Structure 1
């Protein structure tokens, strides 16, 4: 319902379709919930203990806006080792979503164009619209691979930013080295910003993540602790990029989020010493199980190499993704229609961040309604 006090920009947004499914799950007795992109493994004790220790040590006030020195210095050292960029700086943010908001505010003026790959993380077009930008979608169907010729053709004098997400939410596809390098080179050639959203970096199952930041020192990279360590509710992310950009984002954080949650930043320092490869290996196993299970009964699924999602095509004759998902929900299976992530409504997203027993129940429903 509208209200005369609301700003005009609010008319562009509805509640996230993912949140609607999340709310639906809360009302169901025994749902097969393959809808939410949230790790299902327990947070390692070392990380939880560090958070509790920080709270009991009364580290509960504000931190420096840019993050506590112990965390920033550790991240900065890791960045220097990986990239060797003299001008690369780090900012600890209130979640990766906070980092994305600050980047949009720092980079995009009203009327600027932002290139986004379709399918996309649901937040991208909304964030672009919030700052008055224009989203320019580049179709990546059917295999969700980036066509560099399409990207170059989409660049205009108004293009300010390319938003790139690998491993991808919702498809689980990891862009290859040629695509990462090509995007980095295009951004440099046309003097436009490239933001690489690498929140699923840990979950690359077949090879390490190729980051465009290896090929262009001006690439802005968003990362975080939420997915890798199972702490999505802690709202703890970070961003790194050219000092001039990070400095301005830090100033913007002073007037918005103020700082990331202080005691949890101390837990993040401890997290950096925790080996999460066993969890990643378990998710690789689940990926194989889900992809094989879907293909065995005729679902069309693109090759996926990361995150914890697959994005199958709705079978022929079964209607739109919205209609197909409605039938799934009638069978207590919660999945997400592709139209939430795309200009098309032909696919649906499955999150395999769930137990093997839950995944098998979900596959059984999908066999039934195919």
Structure 2
């Protein structure tokens, strides 16, 4: 008798279905819920980006592109990196870094981890973490080594170093963080970069929320260039991953880019050739238009939402102030005697959709809130949270 289970590999059996999906299944009974769970912007794709994509489609730009991406977009990415990271020099100009246009940052993560992590290799990452990280490491045959960053969620060199072993291959760094919204300081980024150099480790820096930072610095002494802290300011041989999904509300367009040492990017390109083939062609042309746009008004709106959320929650919830992204990760009040998952069940009973912290962590003490919603919906959600915390 045919048994489909026989054909499923052990590496897939080792990966759990997303806890986010389970929460959404539980919440399917809700009618028009107050939704503070969404991990995507609530503003629309900028008009110029839409127009560029429509024109590309109407002009027949619908086929495959070069695996590494179209030249106009790669050139814009190289210019952007050159402006932000003057210590990085492109490989075609006597430097070391190369670029690859990817199918979203998620696609870039898959390519980077499969390229660099072999069975038995250890990858150090913070706890809490983005849901995809440990599963991609498992898929590559590696071992995820978690660093407990509670309660302030700062992933520091002092916390990382005791976890380094001869099997350690990579540090997976993300700032601003999903789920906590915490931003690493420039000192932290420098110390992590130095630690990686000391132990010959690769830093994979997931910078998908790079534009959503409310604590920027001027690393090169130019007050007109305020940037999000990054290990890349201090190290020109790490991998950075950035994308368009969050900054330009292009979550469904699947467009991102990787930049890093040419030998690694070349192998990632080879893997993309035999997997994704290329990023969507019309999205790539739209990406050029996106990089010419100004999203600062959206960032200011989210900064204001962050401030409002923090001011209302902190008298009741223990909360590490999120410095970026559009998430907060408060602790369930101790006096309730509830885990994060139990608190979520009570929230769902009140028609509020949020996510339990154990979706992103080995602990079940916190909840993740997204403030990527209207001000009115955010206040309704906060009202419910404060009532549940009584």
TM-score (norm 2): 0.92
1:6 corresponding residue in structure 2:
8
1:78 corresponding residue in structure 2:
80
What are the ranges of 5 or more consecutive residues in structure 1 without an aligned counterpart?
none
2:175 counterpart of 1:166: yes
Corresponding residue to 2:368 among 332, 335, 349: 349
Matched residue, 1:101 = 110
For 1:331 and 1:216, the matched residues in 2 are separated by 48
Give CA-to-partner distance per residue, 1:198-239, whole Å, 9 cap, x none: 000110012231110111111100000000000100111111
Partner Cα distance (1:78, 1:209) in 2: 14
Q: Deviations over 1:274-333 (max 9, x none)?
A: 10000000000000111111113x111112110000000001133110000110011111
- 2:101 pairs with 83, 92, 114, which one? 92
Unaligned runs of 5+ in 2: 89-94, 217-226
Q: Is the 8 A contact 1:18 1:36 kept in 2?
A: no
Partner Cα distance (1:262, 1:217) in 2: 29
- Is 1:234 the equivalent of 2:259? no
The aligned counterpart of 2:324 is 306
State the Cα RMSD in Å.
1.3
Structure 1: 4+ residue segments shifted above 6 A: none
1:152 maps to which of 161, 167, 176 = 161
Residue in 2 that maps onto 1:118: 127
CA contact 1:34–1:351 (8 Å) conserved in 2: yes
CA-CA distance at 1:27 after TM superposition: 5.0
Kindly state the Cα deviation for residue 150 of structure 1 after the two structures are TM-superposed.
2.1
2:333 maps to 315
CA distance in 2, matches of 1:222, 1:23: 31
SS in 2 for 1:121: coil
Answering whether residue 388 of structure 2 is matched by residue 369 of structure 1, we say: yes
- Aligned match of 2:301: 282
Q: Which moved more, 1:11-20 or 1:250-259?
A: 11-20
Report the number of matched residues: 369
Question: What is the match of residue 232 of structure 2?
Answer: 213
Q: Does the CA contact (< 8 Å) of 1:159 and 1:192 recur in 2?
A: yes
On the 8 A contact 1:33/1:334 being kept in 2, the answer is yes
Q: Work out the CA distance in 2 between the residues paired with 1:14 and 1:138.
A: 20
Give the conservation status (yes or no) of the 8 Å contact 2:15–2:138: no
SS of the counterpart of 1:232?
Answer: coil
TM (normalized to structure 1)? 0.97
